Amino acid sequence: MDQTFQLAFRVALVWSGGFLLAATVRALLPGETGITLTARAGTLFLAFNRIGYWTCLFAALTVTFLVVGRAALADLGWSGLQ
Protein backbone atom coordinates (compact mmCIF):
# COMPACT_ATOMS: atom_id res chain seq x y z
CA MET A 1 0.00 0.00 0.00
CA ASP A 2 2.92 2.32 0.68
CA GLN A 3 4.14 1.85 -2.90
CA THR A 4 0.69 2.72 -4.23
CA PHE A 5 0.68 6.06 -2.40
CA GLN A 6 4.20 6.80 -3.58
CA LEU A 7 3.27 6.08 -7.19
CA ALA A 8 0.09 8.14 -6.93
CA PHE A 9 2.14 11.06 -5.60
CA ARG A 10 4.63 10.72 -8.47
CA VAL A 11 1.84 10.69 -11.03
CA ALA A 12 0.28 13.78 -9.44
CA LEU A 13 3.64 15.57 -9.54
CA VAL A 14 4.19 14.71 -13.20
CA TRP A 15 0.70 15.85 -14.17
CA SER A 16 0.90 19.11 -12.26
CA GLY A 17 4.38 19.82 -13.60
CA GLY A 18 3.31 18.96 -17.13
CA PHE A 19 0.29 21.24 -17.02
CA LEU A 20 2.26 24.09 -15.47
CA LEU A 21 4.94 23.73 -18.13
CA ALA A 22 2.34 23.48 -20.88
CA ALA A 23 0.53 26.59 -19.65
CA THR A 24 3.82 28.49 -19.38
CA VAL A 25 4.87 27.49 -22.88
CA ARG A 26 1.50 28.50 -24.28
CA ALA A 27 1.61 31.85 -22.48
CA LEU A 28 5.20 32.77 -23.35
CA LEU A 29 5.42 31.78 -26.99
CA PRO A 30 3.60 34.03 -29.43
CA GLY A 31 0.80 32.43 -31.39
CA GLU A 32 1.88 33.81 -34.75
CA THR A 33 5.25 31.99 -34.88
CA GLY A 34 5.44 28.41 -35.96
CA ILE A 35 5.97 25.93 -38.77
CA THR A 36 4.01 25.90 -42.01
CA LEU A 37 3.63 22.50 -43.64
CA THR A 38 2.67 22.47 -47.29
CA ALA A 39 1.10 19.65 -49.25
CA ARG A 40 -0.88 19.21 -52.43
CA ALA A 41 -4.17 19.68 -50.59
CA GLY A 42 -3.12 22.93 -48.93
CA THR A 43 -1.07 24.28 -46.05
CA LEU A 44 -1.13 23.62 -42.34
CA PHE A 45 0.23 26.09 -39.80
CA LEU A 46 1.48 24.64 -36.50
CA ALA A 47 2.07 27.30 -33.87
CA PHE A 48 5.03 26.75 -31.54
CA ASN A 49 2.89 27.37 -28.45
CA ARG A 50 0.52 24.54 -29.41
CA ILE A 51 3.37 22.18 -30.21
CA GLY A 52 4.84 22.81 -26.74
CA TYR A 53 1.47 22.34 -25.06
CA TRP A 54 0.77 18.98 -26.70
CA THR A 55 4.35 17.80 -26.13
CA CYS A 56 4.03 18.47 -22.39
CA LEU A 57 0.64 16.78 -22.28
CA PHE A 58 1.94 13.75 -24.19
CA ALA A 59 4.91 13.47 -21.79
CA ALA A 60 2.59 13.50 -18.77
CA LEU A 61 0.39 10.81 -20.35
CA THR A 62 3.40 8.67 -21.21
CA VAL A 63 4.87 8.84 -17.71
CA THR A 64 1.46 8.10 -16.20
CA PHE A 65 1.06 5.05 -18.42
CA LEU A 66 4.52 3.78 -17.52
CA VAL A 67 4.01 4.26 -13.78
CA VAL A 68 0.57 2.65 -13.80
CA GLY A 69 1.85 -0.20 -15.96
CA ARG A 70 4.75 -0.79 -13.59
CA ALA A 71 2.42 -0.81 -10.60
CA ALA A 72 0.06 -3.25 -12.33
CA LEU A 73 2.91 -5.60 -13.20
CA ALA A 74 4.24 -5.40 -9.65
CA ASP A 75 0.76 -6.24 -8.32
CA LEU A 76 0.70 -9.27 -10.59
CA GLY A 77 3.98 -10.43 -9.06
CA TRP A 78 6.42 -9.63 -11.84
CA SER A 79 9.63 -8.40 -10.24
CA GLY A 80 11.63 -7.65 -13.39
CA LEU A 81 11.17 -3.87 -13.11
CA GLN A 82 13.10 -3.24 -9.94
Mean pLDDT of the chain: 76
Comparing CA positions, the residue from 79, 54, 67, 82 lying closest to residue 14 is 67
Phi-psi map region of 45: left, alpha, beta (phi>0 left; psi -120 to 50 alpha): beta
Q: What's the confidence (pLDDT) of residue 77?
A: 78
Q: What is the pTM of this model?
A: 0.51
- Binned at pLDDT 50, 70 and 90, residue 3 comes out as low
